[in-house]
Structure 1
Amino acid sequence: MQIEMAYGQKGMMLDVPAGIETTIIRRKPLPVPDDPARVIEMVLANPISAAPLSEAARGAKTACILICDITRPVPNRLFLRPVIEQLTAAGVPLSGITVLVATGLHRPNLDDELAELVGDRWVLENVTCVNHYAREDADHVMLGTTPGRGVPVGIDKRFVEADIRIATGLVEPHFMAGYSGGRKVIAPGVAHHSTIRTFHSARFMEDPAASSCNLDNNPLHEEQLEIVRMLGGTIYGLNTVLDEHRNLIFASFGEIIESHMAAVDFVRDSIEVRVPRKFGLVVTSAAGYPLDRTYYQTVKGMVTPIDILAEGGTLMIVSECGEGIGSEEFRAAQQRLVTLGPDAFLKTLLKKDFADIDEWQTEMQLKPMRLGTIVLVAPELSEQDRAVTGVECHDDLNTAVRLVLARTGLRELAVVPEGPYVVPFYEAAE
């Protein structure tokens, strides 16, 4: 049996040996609209729990539109110009409009990559398109601390001070915050490093509720909502949902919290997949381009299927990792993991109020490591980078599958071709 796995921009074929029982876990298909531009037009005309943008923008002089960074395949080309045209029709000058890339603590997206991200030459040529830099103190307004957990809140002043504020993004499963998009594009998207490092500390990450597809009592989600409330006023959200072929299948627009929940409610039944058993071998992906460009982002694909991984089992993930390991801070965290071991590494995290930058991704890697063995298939990853992954590495997917089957004696496996965009949950058959 051949199964195409998400890998880079071209995919990779998994050839399951004959006689191996294979369970393929995919999202439930949803209809694809014939005219995605019309979808955007309709949601802009019918905002959820907010005034039409054409009304809200009257008299406004400035607007800030947040977009996700290059790690998310958001179809910005579909909606940025229509949104900007609505703003200018209401009297907002082009010179007062900023498209701000919500990088969080990721690297900036510049030059050709920025052009790819924005996806519309007209937008690049007519409004300011810039990156957020979380470590630049002067770029932020400090708003105090959240009432519940005391998170220090700093947000990019270009967003805080704009007359019209719009956060755009992709609603998909997120292995810490439950679902991406909406409030998450603000924090961590355009938050100060102290904000990000606080709610990515171990006291948040080790909370069982900080998990894929869960918003109930999720500490990250709750703090993100608090930050939205602290900002005050109306913040708009434009949310998109894509299918596994990156077609737009849904969009919502309106008040940021309500419009985000509309997108979450739409997509839940499709991507949360109930599975009646656990498996000794789960083969998955890091979701392909652009998410699988680094090992840092690959960790997401290791975490999302662990509910169906049997204790002591093997989780195998394929990822291009064409940009290598990720940031130098992440490399340092991974090196500490390899040197100290998982238990000692976690103990160092539990002592901190502020997480070191990017070490939270290493902490998330501990979750599948507690269950079993991780096998990484990343033929483009260098030996130097492999040495700090802390996992078993291979060049060829099919060779790696055969090796695991041979050493475990397993005659069945589960395959999640789309990686972290689909989340399987174990639910015992009645």
Structure 2
Amino acid sequence: MEFALGFGKQSIKFQIEQKNLMGVLEANKVTVDSMGADEVKRALNNPIGSPRLKDIVKRGEKIVIVTSDITRPMPSKTALPVLLEELYEANILNKDITIVFALGSHRKHSEEEKRYLVGDDIYEKIECIDSDVDDCIHIGTTSGGTPVDIFKPVVEADRIICLGNIEYHYFAGYSGGAKAIMPGVSTREAIQANHSMMVRKDAKAGTLDENSLRRDIDEVAKMLSIDFILNVVLDEKKNIMKAVAGHHIEAHREGCKFLDRLYKIEIDHPADIVIVSPGGFPKDINVYQAQKALDNAQHAVRDGGIIILTASCKEGLGEHTFERWMTTSKSLDEMIVNIQKKFELGGHKAAAIAMVHQRARIFLISDLEDDFIRKIFLEPQKNIEEALQNAYSILGEDAKVIVMPYGGSTLPVVKNS
């Protein structure tokens, strides 16, 4: 069997003997009636657990629309025009609308990036601003001890509308919903407090109500009213395949159910070897981004197995705190111990890689230097053929292989587990 996996802006081809191939994990076949802007309009016309947006807002109210920053695939320029039409039906004026990009702990945008995210027309007529961790108001503390410190313009708005895309998140369960507020427009201290729960066993991809970290995120909405959400699920080419609108919990959960039908892939049992790609550029631009595919791959590999990660990582590790953890720690075990002692954003991704390593060996095919790969506790390989042969020599010539071409999107689930 011949395969081609995304690698940077190209692809790499390889073959697997039929006797070794256990399966290829790609999106399930799901039929939809509409896509793109048409699907957004359908969702806004049929809100879940909520009146129509045009029946919630009133002329003269200050409206804040919180949407994703440039590191997320949320297609704001497709969704926003349809959402704004709904606001205009309620006679809301452009001067009363502010679009806030939820940066979390990420860098600020350039004006060109803001324009790119929303499109020229919206950028010219509506104020578009970045959230600011240094301009927040404290409004309470969650039962989990997370300070609720929210960007001032969001707190002071009369109505809050949250946009986002729903995908699997390796410790929050799913993105979307109230995640636009926490961590989206929260302080670094608040984000650290919430994300420190990632070391708990219940904080994992594909979980919601049983996930204490996700419950902490959703609790924030009890102190800061989210009036309406618009969330989307994207296909592998970043097209809007499903939109949900309305109540921040009820609509979000419906979106998560659709994501499961699309991207939760059942397997009979874990494989000996998993070959995984984030899907190419930009998801494999650095190790920080490629980590997500690695984390999903761990759900398909048996204890003591091998994950072969194919990711260009042309820009290196990708985040300075993450880089410090990966290059100065004495061992992977030390990372896990240290993140439990004192949580640090950036370090959390290093600890997540260490947790995967507890389950399986990690081979890396990338554009990084071999010595550097060894320094960050991974095992360099020249190509997939070499990696497979090395894996077979360790696990046996009959070792079973699963291939994950879009590792950042697909979540393997063992049947009856």
Pair in the same fold by TM > 0.5: yes
Q: Aligned AA for 1:371? A: R
Post-superposition shift, 1:30?
1.2
Quote the Cα distance in structure 2 between the aligned partners of 1:131 and 1:322. Answer: 28
Q: Aligned AA for 1:43? A: A
Of residues 347, 353, 369 in structure 1, which corresponds to 2:337?
347
Q: In structure 1, what is the equivalent of residue 54 of structure 2? A: 54
Q: In structure 2, what is the equivalent of residue 65 of structure 1? A: 65
Q: Aligned AA for 2:137? A: V
| Residues 1:142 and 2:138 aligned together | yes
Q: In structure 1, what is the equivalent of residue 180 of structure 2? A: 185
Q: Aligned AA for 1:145? A: T
Give the SS at the match of 1:293.
coil
Post-superposition shift, 1:297?
1.9
| Residues 1:222 and 2:215 aligned together | yes
Q: In structure 1, what is the equivalent of residue 285 of structure 2? A: 293
What are the residue-to-residue correspondences of 1:18-417 with 2, within 5 Å? Answer: 20-118=20-118, 120-134=119-133, 136=134, 139-146=135-142, 148-201=143-196, 204-232=197-225, 234-337=226-329, 340-352=330-342, 355-379=343-367, 381=368, 386=373, 389-411=376-398, 412-417=400-405
Q: Are 2:370 and 2:380, in contact at CA under 8 Å, matched by a contact in 1?
A: no
Q: Are 1:237 and 1:257, in contact at CA under 8 Å, matched by a contact in 2?
A: no
Runs (5+) with no aligned partner, structure 2: none
Post-superposition shift, 1:240?
0.6
Q: Aligned AA for 2:264? A: E
Give the SS at the match of 1:421.
coil
Q: Aligned AA for 1:248? A: I
Post-superposition shift, 1:207?
1.1
Give the SS at the match of 2:388.
helix
Q: Are 1:293 and 1:321, in contact at CA under 8 Å, matched by a contact in 2?
A: yes
Specify whether residues 344 and 28 from structure 1 end up closer, same or farther in structure 2 by C-alpha distance, changes over 3 A only.
same
TM-score, normalisation: structure 1: 0.89
Post-superposition shift, 1:395?
4.8
Quote the Cα distance in structure 1 between the aligned partners of 2:33 and 2:386. Answer: 40
The answer to which of 268-277 and 365-374 deviates more is 268-277
Quote the Cα distance in structure 2 between the aligned partners of 1:184 and 1:37. Answer: 23
TM-score, normalisation: structure 2: 0.92
Q: Are 2:284 and 2:312, in contact at CA under 8 Å, matched by a contact in 1?
A: yes
Post-superposition shift, 1:305?
2.4
Quote the Cα distance in structure 1 between the aligned partners of 2:115 and 2:381. Answer: 34
Residues 277-298 of structure 1, C-alpha deviation per residue, up to 9 Å, x if partnerless? 2222101122434332221121
Sequence identity (%): 27
Specify whether residues 40 and 218 from structure 1 end up closer, same or farther in structure 2 by C-alpha distance, changes over 3 A only.
same
Residues 285-326 of structure 1, C-alpha deviation per residue, up to 9 Å, x if partnerless? 224343322211211111112233122111111223243312
Q: Are 1:60 and 1:164, in contact at CA under 8 Å, matched by a contact in 2?
A: no
Specify whether residues 395 and 72 from structure 1 end up closer, same or farther in structure 2 by C-alpha distance, changes over 3 A only.
farther
Post-superposition shift, 1:218?
0.7
Q: Are 1:272 and 1:424, in contact at CA under 8 Å, matched by a contact in 2?
A: yes
Q: Are 1:168 and 1:181, in contact at CA under 8 Å, matched by a contact in 2?
A: yes
Q: Aligned AA for 2:186? A: A
Q: Are 2:298 and 2:360, in contact at CA under 8 Å, matched by a contact in 1?
A: no
Q: Aligned AA for 1:179? A: Y
Quote the Cα distance in structure 2 between the aligned partners of 1:62 and 1:382. Answer: 52
Q: Are 2:332 and 2:377, in contact at CA under 8 Å, matched by a contact in 1?
A: no
Q: Aligned AA for 1:196? A: I
Q: Aligned AA for 2:384? A: L
The answer to which of 398-407 and 212-221 deviates more is 398-407
Quote the Cα distance in structure 2 between the aligned partners of 1:174 and 1:410. Answer: 34
Q: Are 1:287 and 1:421, in contact at CA under 8 Å, matched by a contact in 2?
A: no
Q: In structure 1, what is the equivalent of residue 408 of structure 2? A: 420
Quote the Cα distance in structure 2 between the aligned partners of 1:110 and 1:230. Answer: 31
Specify whether residues 244 and 367 from structure 1 end up closer, same or farther in structure 2 by C-alpha distance, changes over 3 A only.
same
Q: Aligned AA for 2:212? A: P
Q: In structure 2, what is the equivalent of residue 2 of structure 1? A: 2
Residues 353-380 of structure 1, C-alpha deviation per residue, up to 9 Å, x if partnerless? xx2221111111122110121112222x
Quote the Cα distance in structure 2 between the aligned partners of 1:351 and 1:53. Answer: 45
Give the SS at the match of 1:307.
coil
Q: Aligned AA for 1:305? A: A
Post-superposition shift, 1:398?
3.7
Give the SS at the match of 1:217.
coil
Quote the Cα distance in structure 1 between the aligned partners of 2:77 and 2:11. Answer: 24
Q: Are 2:30 and 2:261, in contact at CA under 8 Å, matched by a contact in 1?
A: no
Residues 220-246 of structure 1, C-alpha deviation per residue, up to 9 Å, x if partnerless? 1100111011113x4211111122232
Post-superposition shift, 1:140?
0.8
Specify whether residues 378 and 132 from structure 1 end up closer, same or farther in structure 2 by C-alpha distance, changes over 3 A only.
farther
Q: Are 1:22 and 1:413, in contact at CA under 8 Å, matched by a contact in 2?
A: yes
Q: Are 1:3 and 1:14, in contact at CA under 8 Å, matched by a contact in 2?
A: yes
The answer to which of 167-176 and 92-101 deviates more is 92-101
Specify whether residues 287 and 192 from structure 1 end up closer, same or farther in structure 2 by C-alpha distance, changes over 3 A only.
farther
Specify whether residues 164 and 100 from structure 1 end up closer, same or farther in structure 2 by C-alpha distance, changes over 3 A only.
same
Q: Aligned AA for 2:201? A: P
Quote the Cα distance in structure 1 between the aligned partners of 2:50 and 2:230. Answer: 12
